[in-house]
Structure 1
Amino acid sequence: MKNKGSERNKYSLWLLAWPIFLEQFLQFLLGTVDTLMVSRISDNAVAVVGFSNQLFNALMTLFATVASGAGIVIAQKIGSHKEEDARTVAIIAFKVTTGIGLFLSILLVAAPRQIASMLQLPEELLSLAEVYISIVGGGMILTAMMSVLGTAIRNTGNTKGPMMTAIGMNIIHIVMNYCFIFGAFGFPEWGLAGVAISTVVSRLLATIVLLFIFLGSFQRKIGPRDFSIFDRKLFKEILNIGWPLGVNSASWVFSQLAIFSFLAVLGSTELTARTYMNTLESFCFLLGFSLALAVQIQIAHLYGAGKTKEAYRAVFKVLAIGLPLVLVNAFIIVLFGRNVLGLFTGDEDILALCGVLLWMNLMLQPGKMINMALGNSLNAVGDTRFTMNISLISMSIIATGCSYLLGVSLGYGIIAIYACMIADEYIRGIWSYFRWRGRKFLRMKEADLAREGAQKDKEQYRCEEGAASPAL
């Protein structure tokens, strides 16, 4: 009973959420400092970093397919007390994800300028992009390893390990940025190239720490020989959940990449404004995102354990907490956002544009919160194809298609693009709400449990009959 109680506590929403929140908050805080430092190089450098990060996020979906699917399967297997299967899933995911990351690293080192040019980056930014993409992109294998290791560790219920690692990584990154940008402590002033180098070095150190934690995350420690393990059946389970997640994630990331390309066509002012807004927007949903990620882990564990009623109610508890927090945060940013942006840039055109976008952000964030909570909950029970389908439809037509039509073709600019992003969030949120209320996968789980119970009763009856028959 003690072990069961400690396991329930381990997967409580609060214990899962607060380390994720602290990790995300400090990453945001340090990321803001990072952006502030890069802005001391130039606004063009900020635009290149924002654009490149969208590219990296798009490519990350190639290995997020395996990492995300494995995370959910790990939580489900642990919930159903299949610890060895969870361990095997983690090992398989690590190997596959690392291989994909290596391929992407080679690609980005080989053709950074061509990729940036193909994505319509303005000519004046190409030389900076070539340097930044080749260095940071060359470390994509580290990003892949961090992604799968962090996901696997969190879904065992240990959210503190990735939190501490992320904090250390970002502090090292900021210190190295300071050294390379300002030439402090005798370091050379390498500008944006120095920022890229500090990014790769800090990720390398974080990967080493996460790998150490990963090896001891399961009941039976993972050793070097275990990395030869491969189970086709379990890998198929990962892909069944993971490939729709990958497509879903790719839909969002590629829509954002397309939007950044539209903004690049509109001009560097719009592109830089969006980059600064990305930094401010992150503050709005930090706690909401942390709760949504925590509830995904919790629901996957409850679903694996057959506790479908608790799983169903969990998402509404998260929405009751998350929505007010998101609204309060968004309103605070409306009040103080322009003053904060003044720390980054003195360009009045950028500041005026961001002033309008701050009010639109107040409408955007509740829709995002609904999508994060309900979408993650649907994914946790394996209903990933539904979230994939609504993402493909809404993001391709509303977020991307209408953004181009209204923002670029008809000339309404970034304001119209933001309006399309808002519409996309609410449309997907409404779809996800009604899907969750339908309880399709939860009812399927209940039916499976009922069949398993009936089968066990039959087997027990046969055993009792067999034991009684000699006496007859």
Structure 2
Amino acid sequence: MLDKSVNKFTLWVLAWPIFIELFLQFLLGAVDTLMVSRISDDAVAVVGFSNQLFQAMTTLFMTVASGAGILIAQKIGSHKRGEARTIGIMALSVTTIIGLVCSVILFAMPEAIASILQLPDRLLPLAGTYISIVGGGMVLIAMMATMSTVIRNTGNTRAPMYVAIGMNIIHVIMNYGFIFGAFGFPQWGLTGVAISTVVSRLLAVFLLLYIFLRSFEYRIKWKEFRVFNRPLFGEILKIGWPLGINMSCWVFTQLIIYSFIATLGAAELAARTYMNTLESFCFLLGSSIAMAAQIQIAHLFGAGKIKDAYRSAYRALGIGAIYVIVNAFLLFVFGKQLLGLFTEDKTIIAIGASLLGMNLILQPGKMLNMALGNSLNAIGDTRFTMYISLGSMWLVATVLSYVLGVHMGWGLIGIYSCMIADEYLRGVLSFFRWRGQKYLRKAEQHEPSVSHQITPMEVMPTQA
């Protein structure tokens, strides 16, 4: 009896819904930035700064969500569906609690946090409003991220995509209403944008929860959220805690780098925010391929198909590299005109345009790093990616950014140079680690016990 779920784990089937979901997330950010730019460039700087803060907070619950996602794909690959179901339930319970704690902190002291992170004083009132409302809904981000991760790793990458479509439509309509006073909405500016963000996320949580409860062979019941399987949670943390530190390194170093940029001036901060939007679009397809490859490789690894897992990483890297290079070149050619859609400030446009050539160098390095880093994570080699992140992100991307960008006065050019060096260093180290096949060889030694002939009874789901 063949396992019909195998067809769900091909690279293209996994990747295209993830791409559309990421594109819509990008669209959400781009529309936010474009609409908020109609309020002021200061408002744009506050949104960009706040989003870095929110990303830093997400690492607290993504430690659990990411580890659970990888394990779910591995368990499904090895036909341990009952364990996969239990892992999904525990992940949502734990991350919701963490999200609630984050919500309370951000709602209670928004301006104090922004001040500590060196946001210019004149931006603090705007930041206080935006961070308290959107940050107060951090629990919604925790629930969305966890449920989307679990659902995707069961092989169903379409459902989060459909939810993203609905969320984006609602968010754009509400944004327009609040900013321009349309559709009978009050003209509340940045406060309205924050409310629009929270409301659209709340609706998305309800939809994802409905799908999540039905993502496994047996519908999840409310009373099961009290279940806590200590050995399985230990497996989540074994994979998840290095991932959490890895993600923490990225978001906290980015937050610190943003604080460096904030000391350069509001124009530089706004330019970086606009460029971040354009760069995100440039890397969308590459990112979706890398995420799909992680799910596919984890499934193949769990099924004992070691050689297929090894080859899948290079295939994803090759395909992704072509797309990101083409996109980076298009951005290099048309980037100045695109920046003009966001702002009329010639200083901000000039600063952003000066970074377009560097982005052309940056993007292939990001693809190398993400494709092979995700592949290592998929097979459980998360400590290695953690170690190289600790070294490279802090020393190269952060410390060197301060030295070149602030101390030596090179500004954003110096900071971008360090970002490029960091991506390529981690990418090259991940390449040699993957090529060495340490974890894959170890698994291959036990292959007879992992990839034995599957009987019809083993294909049937087991009650959790």
Task: Say whether the fold is shared (TM-score over 0.5).
Answer: yes
Matches within 5 A, 1:278-293: 278-293=276-291
Name the counterpart of 1:422. 420
Report how far residue 449 of structure 1 moved: 2.7
Deviation string for 1:399-452 (max 9, x for gaps)?
A: 000000111111111100000000000000000000000111111111223467
Name the counterpart of 2:105. 107
Name the counterpart of 1:445. 443
Name the counterpart of 1:464. none
Name the counterpart of 2:401. 403
- In the alignment, the residues of structure 2 paired with residue 43 and residue 436 of structure 1 have an alpha-carbon distance, to the nearest angstrom, of 44
Deviation string for 1:63-122 (max 9, x for gaps)?
A: 000000000000000000000000000001000000000000000011001000000000
Name the counterpart of 1:128. 126
Flag structure 2 segments of 5+ consecutive residues without an equivalent.
453-464
Amino acid at match of 1:357: L
- The answer to whether the Cα contact below 8 Å between 2:78 and 2:450 also exists between their aligned partners in 1 is no
Q: Does 1:229 align with 2:227?
A: yes
Matches within 5 A, 1:356-375: 356-375=354-373
* Equivalent residue in structure 2 for 1:174, among 172, 175, 181: 172
Of 244-253 and 339-348, the range deviating more from structure 2? 339-348
* Equivalent residue in structure 1 for 2:252, among 242, 248, 254: 254
Report how far residue 28 of structure 1 moved: 1.8
Matches within 5 A, 1:243-392: 243-392=241-390
Of 391-400 and 22-31, the range deviating more from structure 2? 22-31
Aligned residues: 453
Larger Rg: 1
Amino acid at match of 1:444: K
- The answer to whether the Cα contact below 8 Å between 2:303 and 2:451 also exists between their aligned partners in 1 is no
- In the alignment, the residues of structure 1 paired with residue 370 and residue 346 of structure 2 have an alpha-carbon distance, to the nearest angstrom, of 34
Deviation string for 1:126-163 (max 9, x for gaps)?
A: 00000000000000000000010000000000000000
Matches within 5 A, 1:189-208: 189-208=187-206
Amino acid at match of 1:230: F
Name the counterpart of 2:185. 187
Name the counterpart of 2:139. 141
Flag structure 1 segments of 5+ consecutive residues without an equivalent.
455-472
Amino acid at match of 1:148: T
- In the alignment, the residues of structure 2 paired with residue 452 and residue 31 of structure 1 have an alpha-carbon distance, to the nearest angstrom, of 43
TM-score normalized by the length of structure 2: 0.96
Taking a change above 3 Å as real, the CA distance of residues 339 and 434 of structure 1, as seen in their structure-2 partners, is same
SS at match of 1:219: coil
- In the alignment, the residues of structure 2 paired with residue 228 and residue 131 of structure 1 have an alpha-carbon distance, to the nearest angstrom, of 36
Deviation string for 1:2-60 (max 9, x for gaps)?
A: x42x3221101110000001111222234222211000000000000000000000010
Deviation string for 1:172-225 (max 9, x for gaps)?
A: 111000010111122111110000000000000000000000000001110112
SS at match of 2:343: coil
Name the counterpart of 2:64. 66
Q: Does 1:34 align with 2:29?
A: no
SS at match of 1:135: helix
Matches within 5 A, 1:17-96: 17-96=15-94
- The answer to whether the Cα contact below 8 Å between 2:85 and 2:216 also exists between their aligned partners in 1 is yes
Of 235-244 and 25-34, the range deviating more from structure 2? 25-34
- In the alignment, the residues of structure 1 paired with residue 296 and residue 25 of structure 2 have an alpha-carbon distance, to the nearest angstrom, of 23
